[in-house]
Structure 1
Amino acid sequence: MSDVVAVMRRTLLSCTSLVPGGIAGAGAACLVDISPAWATEPGLSERLIQTFTNLSRPDLTALALALGVLGFSVVAAILLMRTRIRAAANEQRLRTEIRELQSDADRFRALLFAEPQVLISWGAGEDRPQISGDIALLLPQDAKPPLRILAFGTWLPPEPALQMDHAVDALRNAGEGFLLNLVTSAGRTVEAMGRAIGGQAIVRIRDLGGLRRDLAETTLRHNSLLAETGMLRAFAAAAPWPLWARGEDGNLNFANAAYARATEAASATDAIQRNLELLDSDDRIAMARALNDHAAFAARLPVVIGGERRMYDVHALRAAGGSAGIALDASETAALSQALERMADAHRRTLDQLSSGVAVFDGQRRLAFYNDSYRRLWDLDRAFLDGNPNDSSVLDRLRAARKLPEQPDFRAWKARLHEAYRANEAAKDVWYLPDGRALSIVTTPNPEGGVTYLFDDVTESLELARRYDRLITVQRETLDSLTEAVAVFGSNGRAQLFNPAFARMWKLSPEALSQQPHIDTVEGWCKPLFDDDDAWQTIRNAVTGIDNRSAVRLKLERKDGSVLDCMTMPLPDGATMLTFHDITDSENVERALRERNDALETADQMKVDFVHHVSYELRSPLTTIIGFAHLMNDPGTGPLTEKQAQYIDYITSSTDALLALTNNILDLATIDAGAMTLELGPVDVRKTIAAATEGIQDRLTRERIVLEVDVDPDIGNFIGDERRIIQVLYNLLANAAGFSPQGAVIAVSARRTAHSVSFAVTDDGPGIPPEVKDKVFDWFESRANGSRHRGAGLGLSLVRSFVELHGGRVHFDPTVKRGTRVVCDFPLDQTAHRNAAE
């Protein structure tokens, strides 16, 4: 302190003496001189105060004067000095704190990275993170930039990399922390932990070792096993097959929905609580015994589910803590297996029925199957074949019996034959046996191994082929010798075959035809002689058509005046044969005959028209004559002499006959014109026959002819025109009476069948010659045949017309040896007949 006071004294004195400006300037200078020491020495202000206290009065007075002179400058200097002193003190304190913080940071960093790990931190609003730590822990090479750590797929498998990526996004966006145990692509186990701390997102990735790694790996395995167990339980619960598990006590502790449905339980829980059984008691005992003996059980057992008995493949396995089982529905499999066995059996039976010999050898070249045709073909002993001999043994036996083709090197030939066991495709060959037979052999490799031999005796086929070749040659020579022109066009429309007559008829070159020209080309060659486009179009369609192939006949009138009859005939192989026949002469004759026939038909029509007209003209006067004859014969008119009455009877009988003839002609003309209609109604067969016979009673009496009537008692009625049927029977009876000798017998009969009513009239007359039978039903044709009966020949014509109007049929019975038997069949269903006619 004394040193300080001394210094201050010296300083003040020097300031007073040296500064000419007075004490104020000396004080300022003194303050300036001492201010550095004051500012730099700690506690200087306190020592100065103490020093000033110890100064003597003169010194204090001098100092006070000096200070008073200085005034405001001294105060300012003091304040400045205090500020600088405080600033220096604060700087020193801060430096000390920084050194301490740096020391703490180094200590904490050393502690933090004492184990291998990587820290990744993102500040608020920052996209680029700060990465520190040992990046070699994750990346294989240090040369890679640290940011490659954020490409998780470079050091993690795909699924964990995606999981890590989602966890980091959730941390940065929502502040959600995470803790993951991961296995890198290199097989290292690491722990990734993410936290949001102080506005920053921090991810720490560290290597796990020792117990921590074991714990992490155990956790991973545990999670994997939990996931796998959950997946398996979910699969077992959703499986369509009944699944179950039992404890050591045999009680059910797991069952799926299919098991519950099979046991008709409300749910799987219900099945477990009630301990419902799927199998019968005997099957359960057998399964329990098998599990105790072999730790596994497998059998196909019947199970009744929903009232239906089905087959299930039951598999059970003994495991720690109990057993587990599954039941697979094998009903369809069993059905398919049975169907396959039936199919195989049917296949074998079918092969046994084949005429071809079949032998199947398995993969060991032993005979697995043969049919009876194979045994008979080679005449082998059945006992030998049933012993499943190998292929070589069969061939050796056949060779010893001289039943195989003669071969210079039998061993090499057999080796070539056995190449079929290694082939992929079937092979064909023909064997010519010493006994003259020819066998076609097909060797087919089987998919399951082995070979199938198929033998066919083609001796007859080869002979037929030779005969066919000869036949083709004969046919060719025959076609060449025909006068008709013949050409065969294939399905492609090209000429395949022609004879010389075809070339001559159409004036074509045989050399050009031999080039197989198309039908269009042949048409162009033939157009100069015949150019009808429609006819050629028909021929082209017949040759080239695919559907509706049928024969077509054409008449071709060529420009040279010749007429050809053309016929297109489809052949079975798709070809078409064209034949052309020159019918010029026959066509001319046919035209003459046609003209003559037209003239005859015109004349016949004129005859019919004339008869029709005359019959109408005759009917009116006949009616008048008949009326007057009946009037004259009436007693009311007046008495007649015997001779007059006789003449009136002649007139009446003649006019009645003439009127009947006229009516018949009119009926026939009406029928011929298509104007006749039937008045259908119920027909009483017995009354109809009686009405018809009544009209010929006088003739039967006069000729002493006996009439026999034979009617089925159950004949009943049928639908028809009763008046026309009476007319039919009357004409038949009149015709029979006219051709029967005196004292003969006439028979009329009626029979009913399932579809018709048949009337038959039989007489003992001379019969009808065969050459007349086809004409007696024509107009004005009579079967006189030397008989005393003469008529207009209209009765049978009316009979046929009226029967056919009813839809029936009239014919002669060919079984009658003497006389004539005419049969008329009337259908029972007139409605069907009229509908068919309409």
Structure 2
Amino acid sequence: MDLGSTALALLGLLLAAWTAGAAWLMIAAGARSRGADTARRTAKRLNRLLDESPAAALLVRSDGRLEGSERLAHWLGFEELPQFLSELSRHPDRGLTEEQLDDLTSRVRLAQKSAKPFRMAITLPGSARSLALRGSLADPQVSPGGAALIWVFDFSESELELVQMRKETARAMSDFAALVGVIASAPTPMWFRNPEMQLQLVNKAYVAAVGAQDMQSVLDQQIELVEPVEGTPASEIARRASESGEPMERTVSVTSVDGTRRRFRVSDLPLGDEGVAGYAVDIQEQEDQAREHRAYREAQRSMLDRLSVGVAQFDGQRRLTFANQPFRRLLGVRPGAGAIGTSFERLLSDARDEGRTPSVRDFPTWRKEHVAWFGEGGTQEEDWPLSDGTHLAVVGQPMPDGGLALIVEDRTEQLSLAANRDTLLRTRTAMLDSLFEALAVFAPDGTLQLWNHSFPETWGLEAEALDKHPSVDALLPLIEPNLARPRQIKGVAEVIRSATLDRKERAGRLQLADGRTIEFAGIPLPDGNGLLTTLDVTANEQAETALRDRAEALEQADKVKTRFLANMSYEFRTPLTSIGGFAELLEAEVAGPLSDGAKEYVSAILESVARLTDQVENVLDLSQSEAGLLPIARRELSLLAFVAGVARAREEAVEAKNITLDLRGKQSLAVHADPRQLGRAIGQLLDNAIAACAQDGRILVDLAKHDGGVRIVISDNGRGMDEGELARALDGMRQPSDSDPDDTRRQGLGLPLAKQLIEAHGGTFEIQSEKGAGTSVNLWLP
């Protein structure tokens, strides 16, 4: 009983333990089953979260095998993700390019070996999709074999936005750079102030206007362009503009770098919280032009007041703005009436009351027609005959501003002059008909306009042929048969054409078939026509022929005279030489001793022979020079020594009068000349100077270079000559003496001979003389 109870008890305990174990196993199995369900749901949720995340994971194992989602495969353009990394670039229309794959492979290998993370961005070929890759070594719990984990982000939309933002930024920077460039190169000073009203940016024109070195120096020193106005600086005015939010503009005077004052229009433009921009426009030229315009307008009106033509100006409202005195006088405007601002209609009415408008039946309609001139597009002209015989010419000129300029001119005198002109024309016609000369007037087109009765008679034409006013082309064939040489008709046509078209005066001469000789000339007239004047010079031609023959005879006689003088001069030398030789023998007492009286006679003979020989030489040289036969043997001469020698030859005459002879010049002066002829010329001038000087006189000889040659000046302070005496001296005539006023015999040939000798050397001879002051001779030699 006890054993059975114990066994039963043990069996019950065993069953209870087994039941408890089974219950525990059932409870543990249920717990594990619930944990697995939770893990599956968590895995699904995590997978879903990965699918919905903006990044996709790509696992690259050490052997290059790939693990990733289908979404990543779709991003890369594949239906399924390739098994290996190298297969990502085997398709031309999907995957990566060779360069992108090589770059990715090298980064993955580096991450697998050195655990170095990497980042890269790629744009898939043939697609607008952009991917960002962030790779690192995978955690061993994820892949224990040294795999690389790459997170791939699709930022295509962000990339597009970034590209757009970059473009907009680049465009904004370009626009800003262009704006800064425009501001920097603007011709007017411009600047920008920060919220503290300090200069932050200025352009080149500002720097130049203040005379600074560069922009930075302006900013560092805060150099203001505009001076304070009434103690208020420019920054304070800019602050007021910023506070009010409204632009402020003012006109101020600015002192430029060169110290001049110029007028500027300065504007301050508030830019909200950024600051205040400003610019200054130089309006000095505008103000100068405005002043010039006002001055021009005042001068114009002052000038109009002095015209004899009446001028009045009306504005667009037909109100009088200006009227000069002639206008008021011609239209009978009384003092006090017609003031500035008077309407056009009122002015016409007042003029009618004064009788200064034409007499018309319907004056209101007439006035309305003239008021319409303001709307006309062109100039209106009218003639106003007044009741007192005055004739006014009225011109209405519309102005661009809608106004009207009214010009009134009194043409009464002009009409009277026109009537007088007609009378004068008739008088001229009658006068032309009474002249002996044949006259004809041709128009510029060659038409015969006017002629006198002598014209057809002189040219042998029928008077009826000219009644139709023929042209030159029709008139010349009528004249041609009357010429001795018909071809000369071209000369007549050329003279007429020169007078009418070329406006040049030409003349000619021809012979008619009847033996008459006529001279004709074409003269341009002031009115544009041409005058053909013709004169019968047959008698003059005969007289000229006789005079020409006589002139030729006189010329031949003059040549004979010249040859005669030349030959006779040579013939004079022989007896003079003989007389001089015998006189010298007598002086040497070869024939025996002479008394004192005889010696004086011999000396007088020798002196006379010398003077006569000199005169013969002068006559010979002068005659040869006039005939162009004077021999010139040039050689180089030292001018100073040569002139000194010529002066020494006259030493006795100089000392006899105690004359001071001053010779100036340089030793280097040289000239190519004939010593004999040049010495004679200078000697003659010195002789004349010595003879003209009084006791203790003075003679100056100056030698100098001049224009490639030399200049010789011989001056004295002698008695001098007036114009008449000088002319006679150059001609070889002497002034009549006080003792014998009728004595006009030939003087010495000194001056004419010297002039001829200098000109024979190719030089120039010039003489000035003043009565009582002396004489000066200038010689220029090449």
Normalised TM-score (structure 2):
0.59
Question: Does the 8 Å CA contact 1:758/1:825 hold for their aligned counterparts?
Answer: yes
Change (3 A) 1:365 1:282: farther
Q: Distance in 2 between matches of 1:715 and 1:345?
A: 70
Change (3 A) 1:261 1:797: closer
Partner amino acid, structure 2, of 1:299: R
Deviation at 1:498, TM superposition (A): 2.4
* Corresponding position of 1:722: 682
Q: Distance in 2 between matches of 1:822 and 1:547?
A: 59
Q: Distance in 2 between matches of 1:731 and 1:612?
A: 28
Q: Deviations over 1:786-820 (max 9, x none)?
A: 949878x4327654454575533589x9xxxxxxx
Give unmatched runs, 5+ long, in structure 2: 1-76, 78-122, 131-164, 670-677, 702-712, 759-763
Question: Does the 8 Å CA contact 1:492/1:544 hold for their aligned counterparts?
Answer: no
Deviation at 1:561, TM superposition (A): 2.0
Deviation at 1:571, TM superposition (A): 2.2
* Corresponding position of 2:478: 525
Is 1:595 paired with 2:595? no
Is 1:174 paired with 2:132? no
Change (3 A) 1:609 1:779: farther
Is 1:509 paired with 2:462? yes
Partner amino acid, structure 1, of 2:247: A
| Aligned match for 2:375, one of 409, 422, 425 | 422
SS at match of 2:316: coil
SS at match of 1:795: coil
Is 1:557 paired with 2:511? yes
Q: Distance in 1 between matches of 2:664 and 2:205?
A: 75
SS at match of 1:808: strand
Question: Does the 8 Å CA contact 1:366/1:391 hold for their aligned counterparts?
Answer: yes
Partner amino acid, structure 2, of 1:807: F
Q: Deviations over 1:651-681 (max 9, x none)?
A: 5466456435423422331331343879996
* Corresponding position of 1:486: 439
Deviation at 1:503, TM superposition (A): 1.4
* Corresponding position of 1:618: 572
Question: Does the 8 Å CA contact 1:523/1:536 hold for their aligned counterparts?
Answer: yes
Change (3 A) 1:366 1:228: farther
Q: Distance in 2 between matches of 1:310 and 1:486?
A: 70
Q: Distance in 1 between matches of 2:715 and 2:584?
A: 39
Matches within 5 A, 1:207-222: none
Q: Distance in 2 between matches of 1:265 and 1:593?
A: 91
Change (3 A) 1:724 1:517: farther
Change (3 A) 1:298 1:333: same
Change (3 A) 1:359 1:803: farther
Q: Distance in 1 between matches of 2:256 and 2:612?
A: 97
Is 1:361 paired with 2:314? yes
* Corresponding position of 1:5: none
Q: Distance in 1 between matches of 2:464 and 2:742?
A: 75
C-alpha RMSD over aligned residues:
5.7
| Aligned match for 1:609, one of 555, 563, 584 | 563
Q: Distance in 2 between matches of 1:593 and 1:445?
A: 72
SS at match of 1:447: coil
Q: Distance in 2 between matches of 1:559 and 1:749?
A: 74
* Corresponding position of 1:297: 248
Q: Distance in 1 between matches of 2:661 and 2:347?
A: 78
SS at match of 1:528: helix
Deviation at 1:490, TM superposition (A): 2.6
* Corresponding position of 2:233: 282
Is 1:476 paired with 2:429? yes
Give unmatched runs, 5+ long, in structure 1: 1-123, 125-170, 179-221, 698-706, 734-744, 814-820
Partner amino acid, structure 2, of 1:499: N
Question: Does the 8 Å CA contact 1:429/1:442 hold for their aligned counterparts?
Answer: yes
Deviation at 1:632, TM superposition (A): 0.9
Change (3 A) 1:631 1:377: farther
* Corresponding position of 1:578: 532
Change (3 A) 1:650 1:636: same
SS at match of 1:174: coil
SS at match of 2:233: helix
SS at match of 2:613: helix
* Corresponding position of 1:443: 396
Question: Does the 8 Å CA contact 1:800/1:810 hold for their aligned counterparts?
Answer: no
Deviation at 1:581, TM superposition (A): 0.8
Is 1:795 paired with 2:747? yes
Q: Distance in 2 between matches of 1:693 and 1:471?
A: 80
Deviation at 1:749, TM superposition (A): 10
Q: Deviations over 1:556-576 (max 9, x none)?
A: 133332211122222233332
Matches within 5 A, 1:148-187: 174-176=126-128
Deviation at 1:466, TM superposition (A): 2.8
Partner amino acid, structure 2, of 1:597: A
SS at match of 2:482: coil
Larger radius of gyration: 1
Change (3 A) 1:260 1:758: closer
Q: Deviations over 1:349-386 (max 9, x none)?
A: 44445443322111122222334554566675676566
Deviation at 1:622, TM superposition (A): 0.8
Question: Does the 8 Å CA contact 1:312/1:330 hold for their aligned counterparts?
Answer: yes
Question: Does the 8 Å CA contact 2:661/2:699 hold for their aligned counterparts?
Answer: no
Count of equivalent residues: 580
Report the more deviating stretch, 325-334 or 563-572. Answer: 325-334
Change (3 A) 1:557 1:230: same
Question: Does the 8 Å CA contact 1:616/1:666 hold for their aligned counterparts?
Answer: yes
Q: Distance in 1 between matches of 2:766 and 2:204?
A: 78
Q: Distance in 1 between matches of 2:716 and 2:334?
A: 69
* Corresponding position of 1:808: 766
